[in-house]
Amino acid sequence: MTVKSLGALGVRHQRGVTLFGLLLWAIIIGFVALLAMRVFPTVNEFATIRRAVDKIAAEGLTTVPEIRAAFERQKEIEYSIESISGKDLEITKENDKVVIRFAYDKEVEIMSPVYLLIKYQGSSKGS
């Protein structure tokens, strides 16, 4: 019997995903989804802090206590800001513009003894 005659009899190689392959992909996709769900709130908080800092820098406040107080007021409005406070801001003046910088670390628990450390830093648009 030749190969052509076996094909005519209906013997073919099967194609598709095995159970092991399906489980492996499910584990990989599940881990990536878990990681995304744990990290997304920290990215959202960072974006909120950047918007608050940009807004305060654009207000034209000149003294450090005014800027820190404005950030604290903004923090009361935006409940997602928990990682830093007004005293953590580094406020400088460059080319007659107020520049507000911030930096903080965020630990995200992946599974009990495993943590992901994310270092966030940013500044107002003035720099």
- What SS3 class is residue 99? strand
pLDDT of 36 reads 95
The answer on pLDDT for 100 being more than 80 is: yes
The answer on pLDDT for 108 being more than 70 is: yes
Query: What is the residue whose two structure tokens read 């034209």?
Result: 60
H or E element that contains 93: strand 90-94
- Quick one: tokens of 26? 């499910």
pLDDT of 127 reads 45
Over the stretch 49-67, which tens digit does the pLDDT of each residue have? Answer: 999 999 999 888 888 999 9
pLDDT of 5 reads 55
H or E element that contains 116: strand 114-123
The full length of the chain comes to 127
> Who's near 56: CB < 8 A, 6+ residues apart?
67, 70, 71, 74, 100, 124
The answer on pLDDT for 80 being more than 70 is: yes
- Nearest-angstrom CA–CA distance, 23 and 62: 59
pLDDT of 122 reads 94
CA angle at residue 117 from 101 to 30, to 5 degrees? 125
Distance from the Cα of residue 59 to its chain's centroid: 27
Exposed (0-12), middle (13-18) or buried (19+): which is 53, by Cβ within 10 Å? buried
